[in-house]
């Protein structure tokens, strides 16, 4: 277990500056735009003798601020999402492509090679969840900034759940229900496992491995798209499946796909990737 | 451990933040509601689900409210899958799951008499010339033993364009009678239990007469039955006659106040105000419904006879209908109440009932009929819970069978700033 923790720590340390950079960028950007937008909204509401009182907008909550500027608040979140998607590949390839082919040292460690696979998976999840956690903290900061700038008479209270709902991308990444959170991130983990396995397949049979990895990736696409395609083509109806059976079939296909990806990835790492 | 401080702190931050978010959500839940029965049999609301939008000051969120409580749409995951088979599952007992598999059609395709269940569905088999042969697939099961049998019969060959579809199934002795709608006509195919086509009965209606009117048009439809799967002696056919009066004027509904009691009245139609958007028809352009003649096809006599007539005097409103064992009911609803015309199938006599919004507990917003009952969803119109509820009318008794209200189920729902707009309701 300590060996696994050591490997996870190793992965975290390698990514820490980039992670902190993403965090700082998100925090500074969202706080700055909140100051700008809140000042603008306050100016619109301040008494002005030259203005028709009818044109003065009513009070607003931070929810309204977030929902009116969807793209602005979503932009740094999108940058983080894309960065992590790219790093899901880089986390493996940097070991091969970096100085001195570091993978040789990792593969010769006395611990089981499965630990390598698991440590990279755990590190990726840690990065994802810490960025989500930061976004939650930032929403509180945004609310604080808004409350500090907007006078109380122009301000409506908002529940924390409403702050999250204010931005569609944030609401998607942080669903209100923990069950939906488990569902989304469970599906995400399956896709991450599939990506890891495709990378290892490619690395195991270079250059023919590219074909193998692409074939595997295409086969894994059956999971998200096959389930939808089966519904669209009327396969479920012709099989006479009831709706709960269709959904449990889809859940079973996802779980089986995840288990297969993990098993195959670890097996390839153990047997087919050599120094 | 100190060596791994960065990783441990990151893990604590990640899991702590997300964990706190969900704990906070559990401690400060969104407003919750439930259906609370105030009068009558709770079983009438067992499978009832009201769809609503909760909003202000928060963003609008869709939710479903039932006897058990409320569930927000955005909180539903694969872990909340409900086992769902078919509305007739309970009536088919232990063999339901096996027999109903793959049978998606509505209850009109079924016949159930306590001993046997019959299912019939038409199927077209295209030919090379673009035409099609239309078959009916029949499946039967003995409810006690679960023993099944099936056969397939050719109903029509070389059909082009409109396909026949089954509108009612009856078993009379050792024959199956399939009432079929076919390109605006009605036919009854009589099949022997061994899968032979015995005969076809053309259901002929007398020509519709536009008495005293001009520029009229006639539309036919089948009367909705409250339990289509039950054994029955007749099928109702509605002949709707549209037109303007001979003098060219457009007759409108009456304009008197609705009576205070939900009882029979001989007065002219009450002023129910504008119906909600769902049912509104433009009074200027919409067709004016002068009358509806109800005919019944008698399975035993294999003939059609008139059952009665509704005089509607040029109504532009949307009328809904339902046939129970003893009555045929026509009803419409508006902002201020609900008007019901009930025809006795025995003598054709029509009675009129009006229920005001006050008697219904709120303004009607949606209705549906099921098993001899008319369910009316009411609301206050301003998003408050005052007047938000369901009234169930027994159509044969023309009386209120049960009432329920939409009640707050937690403290968040009691906040006066929170609004709840009822949208629709149905039996699941």
Question: Which residues of chain B make contact with A12, given a CB cutoff of 8 A?
Answer: 6-7, 10
Residue A75: CB atoms within 10 A of its CB come to 16
Cis peptide, bond prior to residue A207, ω within 30 of zero: yes
Report the C-alpha gap between B147 and B101 in whole angstroms. 15
Contact B152, B138 (CB under 8 A): yes
Q: Say if the Cβ atoms of B20 and A130 lie within 8 Å.
A: no
B260: contact with A, CB 8 A cutoff: no
Q: Which domain holds residue B222?
A: 213-427
Nearest to B84 among A158, A183, A244 (CB): A244
Break chain A into its structural domains and give their ranges: 1-175, 177-275
Q: pLDDT per residue over A95-116, tens digit each?
A: 888 766 778 888 888 888 999 9
Per-residue pLDDT at A235 exceeds 60: yes
Integer angstrom CA distances of residue B224 from B204, B282, B317, B321, B328: 19, 25, 18, 6, 9
Full 3-state SS string of A49-102 = CCCCHHHCCCCECHHHHHHHCHHHHHHHHHHHHHHHHHHHHHHHHHHHHCCCCC
Could you tell me which residues come within 8 angstroms of residue A7 by beta carbon, excluding any fewer than 6 positions away?
A: A111, A115, A116, A119
Q: Are residues B399 and B329 in the same domain?
A: yes
Q: What is the mean pLDDT of residues A112-135?
A: 95
Distance CA A247, CA A257 (A): 15
A133 contacts in B (CB within 8 Å)?
13-18
Which stretch of A137-146, A191-200, A203-212, B248-257 has the lowest confidence by average pLDDT? B248-257
What integer pLDDT is reported at residue B277 of this predicted model? 28
Burial (CB count within 10 angstroms: exposed 0-12, middle 13-18, buried 19+), residue B82: exposed
Per the CB < 8 Å rule, is B25 touching A161?
Answer: yes
Q: Where are the beta strands (DSSP E) in B41-79?
A: 48-55, 61-66, 69-72
Which pLDDT does position B256 carry in this prediction? 31
A129 to B85: CB separation less than 8 angstroms, yes or no: no
For residues B63 and A79, what is the distance between their CA atoms, to the nearest angstrom? 33
B104 vs A: CB within 8 A: yes
Q: Kindly report, residue by residue over A13-43, the tens digit of the pLDDT.
A: 999 999 999 999 999 999 999 999 999 999 9
A199 within 8 A of A192, measured Cβ to Cβ? no
- CB distance B378 to B365 below 8 Å: yes
Q: Are B49 and B65 in contact (CB under 8 A)?
A: yes
Nearest to A177 among B3, B20, B75 (CB): B75
Give me the count of residues in chain A. Answer: 275
Whether residue B242 is found in the same domain as residue B99: no
Chain A residues with CB-CB distance to B74 below 8 A: 171, 175-177, 180
Do B375 and B341 lie in one domain? The reply is: yes
The verdict on residue B61 lying in a domain is: no
Nearest CB among A9, A129, A240 relative to B101 is that of A240
Task: Determine the pLDDT at residue B373.
Answer: 93
Element (H, E) at B293: strand B289-298
Number of structural domains chain B divides into: 2
Q: What angle do CA B129, B131, B136 make, to 5 degrees?
A: 140
Provide ipTM, 2 decimals: 0.89
Which residues in chain A are contacts of B59 at CB distance < 8 A? 63, 67, 162, 165-166
d(CA A44, CA A47): 8
Q: Could you tell me if A170 and A135 are in contact, meaning their C-beta atoms sit under 8 angstroms apart?
A: yes
Residue B325 and residue B180 share a domain: no
Q: How many CA atoms lie within 13 A of A79 on its CB side?
A: 16
Distance, in angstroms, between B242 CA and closest chain A CA? 41
Contact A178 B22 (CB under 8 A): yes
* Cβ <8 Å between B83 and A160: no
Residues B280 and B417 in one domain: yes
SS3 content of chain A, % helix, strand, coil (to 5): 80, 0, 20
Sheet strand arrangement including B213-222: B213-222, B234-245, B289-298, B303-315
Q: In whole angstroms, how far apart are CA B256 and each of B145, B266, B270, B281, B355? A: 59, 12, 5, 21, 14
B147 and B113 housed in the same domain: yes
Contact A65, A146 (CB under 8 A): yes
Residue B355 is assigned to a structural domain of this protein: yes
User: Are the C-beta atoms of A4 and A119 separated by less than 8 Å?
Assistant: yes
Q: What is the largest CA-CA distance in chain A?
A: 80
In this structure, the number of other CB atoms found within 10 A of the CB of residue B416 comes to 7
Q: How far apart are CA B276 and CA B291, in angstroms?
A: 23
Query: Which pLDDT belongs to residue B262?
Result: 33
User: What is the C-alpha to C-alpha distance for residues B64 and B406, in angstroms, rounded to an integer?
Assistant: 11
Mutate one of B12, B14, B22, B86 to test the A interface: name it (highest A CB count within 10 A). B14
- How far apart are the C-alpha atoms of A233 and B123, rounded to whole Å? 19
- Euclidean distance between CA atoms A239 and A234, whole angstroms: 9
- Is B19 in CB contact (< 8 Å) with chain A? no
Non-local (6+) Cβ contacts of B339 within 8 A are B258, B269, B270, B272, B331, B332, B333, B352, B353, B354, B355
Nearest to B17 among A16, A63, A136 (CB): A136
What pLDDT, on a 0 to 100 scale, did the predictor assign at position B244? 57
pLDDT at B286: 59
Structure tokens at B338: 């609900």
d(Cα A40, Cα A32) in Å, to the nearest integer? Answer: 13
Cα A126 from Cα A5, distance rounded (Å): 12
- In a domain, residue B96? The reply is yes
8 Å CB contact between B349 and B308 = yes
With beta carbons less than 8 A apart as the criterion, state whether A169 and A89 touch. Answer: no
B264 shares a domain with B164: no
Same domain, B134 and B221: no
From first to last of the 428 residues of chain B, give the pLDDT tens digit. Answer: 778 899 999 999 999 999 999 999 888 888 999 999 999 999 999 989 999 998 876 788 999 999 999 999 888 888 777 777 788 888 888 888 889 888 877 889 999 998 999 999 999 888 878 888 899 999 999 998 999 999 999 998 888 877 788 999 999 989 999 999 987 789 999 999 989 999 999 998 877 654 544 456 788 899 999 999 999 999 999 988 887 554 444 443 333 333 333 333 333 333 444 433 223 334 455 567 888 999 999 999 999 999 999 988 777 788 899 999 899 999 999 888 899 999 999 999 999 998 988 888 889 999 999 888 999 999 887 778 888 899 999 998 888 999 999 999 999 898 888 889 999 999 88
Tokens describing residue B332? 């419409």
CA torsion, ordered A252, A253, A254, A255, to nearest 10 deg: 50
Q: Which residues of A touch B14 (CB under 8 A)?
A: 126, 129-130, 132-133
Mutate to test the interface with B, among A128, A159, A223 (most CBs of B within 10 A): A159
Distance CA A102, CA A96 (A): 6
Judgement on whether residues B366 and B250 belong to the same structural domain of the protein? yes
Write the DSSP assignment of B328-378 as a string of letters: EEEEEEETTEEEEEEEETTT--EEEEEEEHHHHTSEEEEEEEETTEEEEEE
User: Full-prediction pTM beyond 0.90?
Assistant: no
Residue B72 lies in a domain: no
Q: Are strands B213-222 and B234-245 parallel, antiparallel or unpaired?
A: antiparallel
Q: B223 and B172: one domain?
A: no
- Phi and psi angles of residue B188, each rounded to the nearest 5 degrees, phi first: -120, 120
State the pLDDT at residue A91.
94
DSSP result, B370-423:
ETTEEEEEEE-SSSSSTT-EEEEEETTTTEEEEEEEEEE-SGGGG-TT-EEEEE
B7/A8 touch (CB, cutoff 8 Å), yes or no: yes
- The token duo for A158 is 């908002």
Shortest CB distance from B82 goes to which of A130, A133, A244?
A244
Pair B94, B184 in one domain: yes
What is the distance in angstroms between the CA of the first residue and the CA of the last residue of chain A? 24
DSSP sequence for B215-235 = EEEEEEEEPPBSSTTS--SEE
| pLDDT of res. A88 | 96
Are both B262 and B218 inside the same structural domain? yes
| Rg of chain B on CA atoms, in Å | 26
Both tokens assigned to B22: 């969900």
């Amino acid at each position: 277990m300590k060996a696994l923790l050591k490997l996870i720590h190793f992965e975290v340390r390698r990514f820490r500056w980039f992670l902190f950079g993403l965090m700082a960028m998100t925090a500074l950007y969202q706080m700055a735009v909140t100051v700008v937008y809140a000042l603008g909204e306050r100016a619109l509401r301040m008494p002005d003798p030259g203005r028709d009182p009818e044109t003065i907008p009513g009070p607003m909550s931070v929810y309204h601020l977030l929902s009116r500027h969807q793209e602005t608040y979503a932009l740094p979140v999108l940058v983080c999402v894309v960065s992590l998607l790219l790093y899901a590949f880089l986390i493996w390839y940097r070991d091969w492509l970096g100085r001195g082919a570091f993978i040789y040292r990792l593969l010769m460690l006395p611990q089981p090679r499965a630990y390598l696979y698991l440590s990279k998976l755990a590190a990726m999840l840690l990065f994802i969840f810490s960025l989500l956690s930061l976004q939650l903290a930032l929403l509180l900061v945004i609310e604080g900034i808004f409350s500090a700038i907007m006078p109380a008479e122009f301000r409506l209270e908002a529940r924390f759940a409403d702050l999250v709902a204010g931005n569609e991308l944030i609401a998607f990444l942080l669903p209100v229900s923990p069950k939906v959170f488990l569902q989304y991130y469970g599906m995400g983990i399956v896709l991450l496992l599939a990506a890891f396995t495709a990378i290892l397949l490619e690395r195991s049979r270079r250059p023919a491995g590219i074909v193998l990895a692409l074939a595997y990736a295409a086969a894994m696409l059956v999971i998200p798209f096959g389930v939808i395609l089966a519904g669209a083509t009327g396969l479920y109806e012709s099989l006479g499946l009831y709706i709960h059976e269709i959904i449990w079939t889809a859940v079973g296909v996802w779980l089986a796909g995840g288990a297969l990806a993990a098993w195959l990835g670890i097996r390839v790492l153990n047997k087919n990737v050599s120094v | 451990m100190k060596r791994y401080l960065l990783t441990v702190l990151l893990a604590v931050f990640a899991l702590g933040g997300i964990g706190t978010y969900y704990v906070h959500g559990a401690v400060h839940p969104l407003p919750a509601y439930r259906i609370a029965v105030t009068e009558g049999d709770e079983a009438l609301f067992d499978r009832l689900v009201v769809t609503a939008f909760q909003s202000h000051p928060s963003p609008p969120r869709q939710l479903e409210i039932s006897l058990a409580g409320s569930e927000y749409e955005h909180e539903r995951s694969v872990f909340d899958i409900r086992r769902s088979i078919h509305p007739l599952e309970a009536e088919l007992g232990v063999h339901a799951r096996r027999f109903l598999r793959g049978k998606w059609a509505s209850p009109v395709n079924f016949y159930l008499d306590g001993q046997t269940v019959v299912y019939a569905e038409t199927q077209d088999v295209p030919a090379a010339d673009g035409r099609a042969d239309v078959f009916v697939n029949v499946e039967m099961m003995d409810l006690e033993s679960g023993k099944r049998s099936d056969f397939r019969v050719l109903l029509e060959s070389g059909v082009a364009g409109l396909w026949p579809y089954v509108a009612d199934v009856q078993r009379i002795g050792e024959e199956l009678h399939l009432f079929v709608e076919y390109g605006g006509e009605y036919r009854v195919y009589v099949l022997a239990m061994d899968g032979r086509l015995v005969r076809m009965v053309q259901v002929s209606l007398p020509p519709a007469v536009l008495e005293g009117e001009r520029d009229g048009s006639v539309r036919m439809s089948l009367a909705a039955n409250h339990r289509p799967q039950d054994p029955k002696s007749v099928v109702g056919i509605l002949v709707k006659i549209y037109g303007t009066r001979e003098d060219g004027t457009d007759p409108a509904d009456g304009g008197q106040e609705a009576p205070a009691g939900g009882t029979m009245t001989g007065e002219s139609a009450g002023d129910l105000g504008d119906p909600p958007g769902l049912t509104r028809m433009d009074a200027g352009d919409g067709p004016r419904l002068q009358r509806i003649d109800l005919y019944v096809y008698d399975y035993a006599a294999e003939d059609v006879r008139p059952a009665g007539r509704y005089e509607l005097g040029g109504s532009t409103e949307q009328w809904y209908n339902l046939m129970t064992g003893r009555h045929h009911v026509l009803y419409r609803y508006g902002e201020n109440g609900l008007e019901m015309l009930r025809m006795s199938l025995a003598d054709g006599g029509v009675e009129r009932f009006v229920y005001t919004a006050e008697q219904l507990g709120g303004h009607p917003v949606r209705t549906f009929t099921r098993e001899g009952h008319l369910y009316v969803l009411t609301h206050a119109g301003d998003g408050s819970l005052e007047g938000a509820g369901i009234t169930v009318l027994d159509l044969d008794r023309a009386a209120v069978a049960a009432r329920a209200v939409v009640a707050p189920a937690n403290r968040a729902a009691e906040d006066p700033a929170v609004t709840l707009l009822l949208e629709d309701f149905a039996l699941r």
